[in-house]
A and B are shown apart, each in its own frame.
Chain A
Amino acid sequence: MNNEETEIKEKTRAILEGLESNRENLIPILQKIQEELGYLPPYAMIEVARFLNIPEIDVYSVATFYNQFRLTPPGKHSIRVCMGTACHVKGGHIALAAWQRRLKIGPGETSPDREFDLDTVACVGCCAMAPVTVVDKKVEAKADPTKVDGILLSYQLQKEKEEKENN
């Protein structure tokens, strides 16, 4: 067993502690793991299968069926572009293109420096503020390409400030 494997399995076991070994708990368990670890590592899924006493493939099939679960590590900041109807007619696809252009990654990917991960979301229900992008859980209203640049700039400035303080 390598270090990563041990670490992930230990963390998973800590999350599972006190929970009932019920198939019904599978989705809540996976949600909890993702909340703590940011994604569902294979070792964590193996551990969950053992805990619930179900085949590993059953855990994997649930993890890949639902859009919410991700199998790769997230970036430091999450960008979720809303693809709802109202956002679409107000330029949601244009906003997505702007994010892709600036971050140089596609939906479902994480930037090589692990600063950002980009994805789409079906609809966050803020249709009156369209087009919206959810940046680190905050809903940004009227997120057109200009606002995209503004948001990225503010992150860059913040990062530079932090680096200066650290030095």
Chain B
Amino acid sequence: MPVVLVGTATCGRAAGALEVLQAIKDTVKKQNLNCLIYEVGCMGHCYAEPLIILRKPGFPSICYGHVSPVLAENLVTNLILNDDPSLEFVLGSLEENDLIPSFSDFPRSKYEKRILLKNCGHINPEEIEHYIANGGYESLSKALQMKPVEIVSEVKRSKLRGLGGAGFPTGEKWDVCRHSEGEPKYLICNGDEGDPGAFMDRAILESDPHSVIEGMVIAGYAIGARHGYIYVRAEYPLAVQRVRNALLQAEKYKFLGENILGSGLSFDIKLFQGSGAFVCGEATALIASIEGKPGMPRHRPPRVAVQGLFGKPTILNNVKTLAYVPHIIKNGADWFLQTGTERSKGTAVFALAGKVVNTGLVEVPMGTTLRQLVFQVGGGITKGKRFKAVQIGGPSGGCLPESALGLPIDFDSLQESGAMMGSGGMVVLDEDDCMVEVARYFLDFTQKESCGKCTLCRLGTKQMLDILEDITKGHGMMEDLETLEQLAEDIKQGSLCGLGRTAPNPVLTTLRYFREEYEAHIKEGRCPALMCQTLIAYYILPEKCARGCDACVGTCTVEAITTDKKRRIKVIDQEKCVKCNTCLAACPPQYDAVVRLSPPDKVPKSEGK
């Protein structure tokens, strides 16, 4: 029987997947088609959302991208009724075949290795049977036949490191907790993915929640925990809903709760929704928030593995780390050790965003270079622009320039370059992005999110932000750069938790690799990337402006553009202009008459009245 899969994770919904789903349902009903329709999660190809997959016996599974409701209707009827696979709309097929180019023929597939994302976008996350049919919960039953100590030593041997960013060896952490005194013990899955620009954990929780639950039950058994928590950000309503549903199903199937699979093991999982505080990604802050307190980190030691939630031994693992556990138990540590580099094993999941062609979720072996990730997997920079930097690791990470693209992606090399792996957010920046502004943006973020406990983090980030704001407005001084470096050092030294200790990284890396941009702002009042709003002006080149066209006049959001009566060209009133970029986007490419100038006094004086 033909099957229609519609990708309805948050990205897909933003692009209109629910409308597509409705259109398909209507068509199937109207034409009385005999087929099944399933909602699936994120397939990773976010650039081509909304996405659908059609399956019909005799054909390979075909994935279509950029689907609209009308197109969906046609694709479904063409294939199911007329055996026509509508080749012109195909993105790729899932299996190799003679008819349609498959995803494995894409150049990027050479670099990708999907382990954690294997099920994402291919199974219905709301149906536990789909997960089980794909080998789900097999590892749990295998694990229950092992002794807890055997599981810990297998995970230890696999050298799995925490994929939330810190890279601490998972097995060792478990061992500490196992041997710590105190009952009951707790296991917490950290899904408080706060880094702006990161959405890997959201995608996994939305697309394959059972993989995380299975990992948690195994981990809970290994460390001797009785209770588990999944901590999910409030900003992820769909993930919350799907996890809640998955927990109920797992309980019904006896994978969770009392006497799991008849083994005598009891382990339950509660879902806890975060309330929008970035600092709660930190272990002790997250624990405080579950306890009903403001999320402020505390001093360590004691480690949370010894004294965590409600003062009891607690293990906190990232979503991806836990999702890896079933794979390691099923295939063994030796299988895991085959992938990756000497000190970082396995794969890394990245959320590619920003000015890159193939935005979306990718999974690559550790050790893949940044260049391969951005250019081969990501397909390079959009609109033929020049690559400038890649921002990796979110507010704790840094901006790495072209010269660093040869770096392999693993925990240690990125740290040496001044950035860090973080949880996997990767934002690609091109020549239009100002590095001073990007640094200011991150400081603005960390300054707001600082919990206020440590003086240097609370006041130091504010001071750095003020200086950066001055620079982006053209009021900076050269000695500010030294002050920034000094402050950065002090904040790193004087902060208790990772938020403060890494907050200066975006500033330090941009100062290290893009110092000339800071200098242009300070010395010339010029923003080389034409991004800092105070330092630019929009201007319509008279010689390029076409007499008959008034695309910009109509689109201007503040009616700042008028037509010069004599010459029939368009002029921007600089007093009214709010620099929203709409006119530049609207100007037809054959004229290309709207430009940005920096410093703003480059606009000829006679203009702009």
Which A residues fall within an 8 A CB radius of B? 22-28, 30-31, 61-62, 65-69, 83-91, 94, 97-98, 101, 121-130, 132, 137-141, 144-146, 149
Is B582 an interface residue, CB under 8 A from the partner?
yes
Q: Within the complex, what minimum Cβ distance (angstroms) separates B242 from chain A?
A: 14
Contact, CB under 8 Å: B273 / A89:
no
Is B340 an interface residue, CB under 8 A from the partner?
no
Q: Which residues of chain B in 357-416 are interfacial with respect to chain A, using CB atoms and an 8 Å cutoff? A: 359-360, 391, 394
Residues of A within 8 A of B355 (CB): 89
A102 CA to B39 CA in the complex, in Å? 37
Contact, CB under 8 Å: B394 / A128:
no
Residues of A within 8 A of B578 (CB): 97, 101
Is B585 an interface residue, CB under 8 A from the partner?
yes
Q: Within the complex, what minimum Cβ distance (angstroms) separates B337 from chain A?
A: 32
Contact, CB under 8 Å: A125 / B193:
yes
Residues of B within 8 A of A126 (CB): 10-11, 14, 199
Is B152 an interface residue, CB under 8 A from the partner?
no
Q: Which of A26, A87, A91, A127 contacts B581 (CB 8 A)?
A: A91
Residues of A within 8 A of B203 (CB): 125
Contact, CB under 8 Å: A127 / B199:
yes
Contact, CB under 8 Å: B558 / A83:
no
Contact, CB under 8 Å: A139 / B13:
yes
Residues of B within 8 A of A149 (CB): 557
Contact, CB under 8 Å: A27 / B580:
no
Q: What is the number of contacts between chain A and chain B, taking CB atoms within 8 Å? A: 161
Stretch of B259-267, B425-433, B542-550 contacting A (4+ beta carbons < 8 Å): B425-433
Q: Within the complex, what minimum Cβ distance (angstroms) separates A16 from chain B?
A: 14
Residues of B within 8 A of A31 (CB): 234, 273, 275
Q: Which of B49, B294, B580 contacts A128 (CB 8 A)?
A: B49
Contact, CB under 8 Å: A132 / B14:
yes
Contact, CB under 8 Å: B11 / A129:
yes
Complex A-B: 15 CB contacts under 8 Å: A26-B292, A65-B277, A67-B276, A85-B196, A85-B438, A86-B197, A89-B355, A91-B581, A97-B580, A122-B194, A123-B235, A125-B193, A129-B14, A130-B354, A139-B14
Given that A66-B277, A69-B275, A126-B199 are contacting pairs, would A140 and B291 also be in contact in the complex, using a CB cutoff of 8 Å? Answer: no
Contact, CB under 8 Å: A121 / B235:
yes
Known: A68-B274, A88-B438, A127-B197. 16 other contacts (CB 8 A): A65-B294, A85-B196, A85-B197, A85-B441, A85-B442, A86-B354, A89-B433, A97-B580, A98-B580, A122-B196, A122-B235, A125-B236, A125-B351, A128-B11, A128-B352, A128-B353
Contact, CB under 8 Å: B582 / A145:
yes
Is B468 an interface residue, CB under 8 A from the partner?
no
Contact, CB under 8 Å: B295 / A137:
no
Q: Within the complex, what minimum Cβ distance (angstroms) separates B46 from chain A?
A: 3
Q: Within the complex, what minimum Cβ distance (angstroms) separates A40 from chain B?
A: 11
Contact, CB under 8 Å: B438 / A89:
yes
The 5 closest A-B pairs by CB, nearest first: A128-B46, A127-B353, A125-B199, A66-B275, A67-B276
- Residue in chain B with minimal CB distance to A91: B581
Q: Which of A101, A129, A138 contacts B49 (CB 8 A)?
A: A129
Residues of A within 8 A of B202 (CB): 125
Q: Within the complex, what minimum Cβ distance (angstroms) separates A48 from chain B?
A: 11
- Residue in chain A with minimal CB distance to B394: A85
Is B198 an interface residue, CB under 8 A from the partner?
yes
Q: Which of A65, A68, A90, A145 contacts B234 (CB 8 A)?
A: A68
**Which of A26, A86, A139 has the most C-beta atoms of chain B within 10 angstroms of its own C-beta?**
A86
Contact, CB under 8 Å: B291 / A24:
yes
- Residue in chain B with minimal CB distance to A124: B235
Contact, CB under 8 Å: A130 / B353:
yes
Contact, CB under 8 Å: A65 / B353:
no
Residues of B within 8 A of A61 (CB): 294
A86 CA to B199 CA in the complex, in Å? 11
0/1 string, B1-42, CB within 8 A of A gives 1: 000000000110111000000000000000000000000000
Residues of A within 8 A of B391 (CB): 85
Residues of B within 8 A of A137 (CB): 237
Residues of A within 8 A of B277 (CB): 65-67
Residues of B within 8 A of A89 (CB): 354-355, 427, 429, 433, 438
Residues of B within 8 A of A23 (CB): 291-293
Residues of A within 8 A of B442 (CB): 85
Residues of B within 8 A of A22 (CB): 292
A22 CA to B449 CA in the complex, in Å? 27
A84 CA to B445 CA in the complex, in Å? 9
Contact, CB under 8 Å: A127 / B359:
yes
Residues of B within 8 A of A28 (CB): 272-273
Contact, CB under 8 Å: B11 / A83:
no
Residues of B within 8 A of A94 (CB): 579-581
A25 CA to B360 CA in the complex, in Å? 36
Is B289 an interface residue, CB under 8 A from the partner?
yes
- Residue in chain A with minimal CB distance to B202: A125
Is B172 an interface residue, CB under 8 A from the partner?
no
A144 CA to B555 CA in the complex, in Å? 12
- Residue in chain B with minimal CB distance to A130: B353
Contact, CB under 8 Å: B46 / A67:
no
Residues of B within 8 A of A90 (CB): 354
Contact, CB under 8 Å: B290 / A24:
yes
A88 CA to B355 CA in the complex, in Å? 12
Q: Within the complex, what minimum Cβ distance (angstroms) separates B27 from chain A?
A: 23
A137 CA to B580 CA in the complex, in Å? 25
**Which of B196, B394, B579 has the most C-beta atoms of chain A within 10 angstroms of its own C-beta?**
B196
**Which of A67, A97, A141 has the most C-beta atoms of chain B within 10 angstroms of its own C-beta?**
A67
